[in-house]
Amino acid sequence: MKWSVHNEHPLEESHDYLVVGLWNKPSKLEGLLKELNDEFEGELTSLVKEGDLSSKVRTVTKLPSLGKSKAKRILFVGLGKEKDLTLDSLRESFGATGKLLKDSRVEKVSVALDTFTAEGIEESDVAQALTEGIELATYSYEGYKQKSNLPDVAIDVLSVYTQADAHEINAALEVGHVLAEGTNSARTLVNMPANILTASKMAEYALDLAEKYGFESEILGKEEMESIGMGALLAVNQGSAEPPRMIVLKHKGKEEWTDVLGLVGKGITFDTGGYSIKGKDGIVGMKTDMGGAAAVLGAMEIIGKLQPEQNVVAVIPATDNMVSSKAFKPDDVITSLNGKTIEILNTDAEGRLALADGVTYAKQHGANYIVDVATLTGGVIVALGLDKTGALTNDEALFERVLEASAEAGEFIWQLPYTESDKKRVRNSPVADLNNSPGRDGHAIFAGAFIGEFTEGTPWVHLDIAGTATTKKAHYLGPAGATGAMTRTLALLVEQFLLEKKE
């Protein structure tokens, strides 16, 4: 999507579509709305009164101007009461606008930006929410249909009218655009089928990012993993015809490689469950078990474009989890990269194994803080539902930062308890240091607690996106399928690390 910023008066220019914010202010239209109302000879007031023009938030009404205005059509975006509007609902309102425009196959749109400002929501906030909301909402996954049934139009030209500083508005539009692009890339990775997006393909994708954005990169293959003893990831890969990959990308935002934020994403390209095999219903959709990896790669794309002065290392253990005569099995004992031994009680609890080596490898690459993201457990869905990401942490201060970033992104996170008794349960094995599946009671917590065993004092936050990585229903900010959950949160976390350092 391209855009331009103008400071002319929006009603003095011609537009095919002019987007205007409509507040719920009974019997009073102000500013640009009042001018529009005058153009419409007072008709807007009666349309609002009779309910033909809704000021309800996330509701968009199209009104042809029948020659009364230089704008051919006006799109009124309901914003509700000023005191109730949040950045989240504004972003979603722009999402609803984007969907309506896409469905009407509109390519050129003008926006009266200043009609959307409110207390605490400045022009630049509106600008960011505008590109972010529209581009998230109008995402679609092409797939592999010979004949696409999707409209191939996208909003191409966005003309933004504002009295605010054009530089500032341009920058904010760019940030919203970049955040949406990274999220949409993550969505596409998750939507891709596992026979096409293998671990090697994911590594190639990461190398492309590295080349484009100047990241340092390292890809480990099976032999390299064997030589350094990356036994947990190797165990998960043991039954597969596809070789595993450990993917590392480094964004060097500072002179020195210190104060490094590690982002570790679960990259299980398909999860059959292994010998603890999933049922025929539970297995469908397990191509999305690399949602954590996708969020990390999407965030790296954003980081590559925004180039924050913050060191980041992305680590993605990638493989599928298959059955064969060579596959690992329950009762096996394996040795992870950091030397801890693990009794396998359930081969379907494979994500934590891959992540254990991922976390250790991130530490070996200098990570001083770690955030892992994973479609880890059905348990988190039972606990929190499908719209909340579950979290565990060993460091409340780091968790606070993640929470702040997630609030800015509009992605809900809820912290689960992480207690000594949880640690005891994962350490309880007659034959090894740890077991990979202590039971079904509270297993979202045990899964996180298992990963915690490998952090060894490094501040860490674990994000379980099993519920949030995909959705069965279309929503204001996108279609059914992959959501790109936590992509924007991770990217904004990196930005925030910077702000805190500068203060």
Nearest approach, Cβ of 348 to ligand BES (angstroms)?
A: 4
Contact 372, 463 (CB under 8 A): yes
- Partner whose binding site includes residue 274, from Zn ion, ligand BES, none (CB under 5 to 8 Å by kind): none
Tokens of residue 146, six digits: 């010979």
Of 452, 448, 375, 372, nearest to 416 by C-alpha is 448
| Nearer residue to ligand BES within complex by CB, 130 or 376 | 376
Nearest approach, Cβ of 377 to ligand BES (angstroms)?
A: 4
Catalytic hit among 70, 222, 278, 305? 278
Q: How many residues does the chain have?
A: 503
- Partner whose binding site includes residue 443, from ligand BES, Zn ion, none (CB under 5 to 8 Å by kind): ligand BES
Binder of ligand BES out of 132, 271, 320, 422 (CB under 6 A): 271
Residue the block writes with tokens 């929503």: 475
Tokens of residue 94, six digits: 């722009």
Tokens of residue 46, six digits: 């009666």
105 is catalytic: no
Helices of type H across 327-463: 351-364, 378-384, 396-409, 420-426, 443-452
- Mapped onto helix, strand or coil, the DSSP state of residue 237 is helix
Of 118, 101, 119, 117, nearest to 109 by C-alpha is 101
| Nearer residue to Zn ion within complex by CB, 123 or 289 | 289
Strand ranges in 8-70 using DSSP code E only, listed in sequence order: 15-23, 60-64
| Nearer residue to ligand BES within complex by CB, 37 or 375 | 375
Binder of ligand BES out of 244, 379, 410, 442 (CB under 6 A): 379
| Nearer residue to Zn ion within complex by CB, 162 or 435 | 435
Nearest approach, Cβ of 359 to ligand BES (angstroms)?
A: 16
- Partner whose binding site includes residue 377, from Zn ion, ligand BES, none (CB under 5 to 8 Å by kind): ligand BES
Of 184, 123, 99, 225, nearest to 488 by C-alpha is 184
Of 411, 409, 444, nearest to 425 by C-alpha is 444
Strand ranges in 210-365 using DSSP code E only, listed in sequence order: 216-220, 245-251, 260-265, 267-271, 312-321, 333-335, 341-343
Nearest approach, Cβ of 313 to ligand BES (angstroms)?
A: 24
Nearest approach, Cβ of 322 to Zn ion (angstroms)?
A: 12
- Phi/psi at 270 (5° precision): -155, 135
Q: Can you give the binding site for Zn ion, defined by CB under 5 A?
A: 268, 271, 289, 348, 350-351
Strand-by-strand arrangement of the 333-335 sheet: 333-335, 341-343, 434-435
| Nearer residue to Zn ion within complex by CB, 53 or 469 | 469
- Partner whose binding site includes residue 378, from Zn ion, ligand BES, none (CB under 5 to 8 Å by kind): ligand BES
Catalytic hit among 201, 266, 287, 352? 352
222 is catalytic: no
CB-nearest residue to ligand BES: 378
Is the alpha carbon torsion for 177, 144, 376, 268 positive or negative? negative
Identify residues 441-460 at the interface with ligand BES (CB under 6 A): 443
Counting contacts by CB under 6 A, is residue 388 touching ligand BES? no
How many other C-beta atoms can be found within 10 angstroms of the C-beta atom of residue 428? 12
Taking the CA atoms of residue 288, residue 289, residue 290 and residue 296 in that order, the dihedral angle to the nearest 10 degrees is 100
Q: What binding mask, one character per residue, do residues 339-378 give for ligand BES by CB under 6 A, x or -?
A: -------x-xxxx-----------------------xxxx
| Nearer residue to ligand BES within complex by CB, 31 or 439 | 439
Residue the block writes with tokens 């970049």: 178
- Partner whose binding site includes residue 318, from Zn ion, ligand BES, none (CB under 5 to 8 Å by kind): none
| Nearer residue to ligand BES within complex by CB, 350 or 411 | 350
Which helix (H) or strand (E) covers residue 36, if one does?
helix 31-39
| Nearer residue to Zn ion within complex by CB, 350 or 453 | 350
Q: What binding mask, one character per residue, do residues 294-333 give for ligand BES by CB under 6 A, x or -?
A: ----------------------------------------
Q: What binding mask, one character per residue, do residues 160-199 give for ligand BES by CB under 6 A, x or -?
A: ----------------------------------------
Which DSSP symbol is given to 56?
S
Taking the CA atoms of residue 202, residue 203, residue 208 and residue 211 in that order, the dihedral angle to the nearest 10 degrees is 150
Nearest approach, Cβ of 462 to ligand BES (angstroms)?
A: 14
Nearest approach, Cβ of 467 to ligand BES (angstroms)?
A: 7
Binder of ligand BES out of 437, 483, 487, 489 (CB under 6 A): 437
Binder of ligand BES out of 135, 289, 408, 453 (CB under 6 A): 289
Taking the CA atoms of residue 206, residue 207, residue 210 and residue 211 in that order, the dihedral angle to the nearest 10 degrees is -140
Contact 92, 61 (CB under 8 A): no
Q: Distance between alpha carbon 266 and the CA centroid of its chain, in Å?
A: 14
Q: Would you name the residues annotated as active-site residues? A: 278, 352
Binding positions for ligand BES, rule: CB under 6 A:
271, 273, 289, 346, 348-351, 375-379, 437, 443, 466
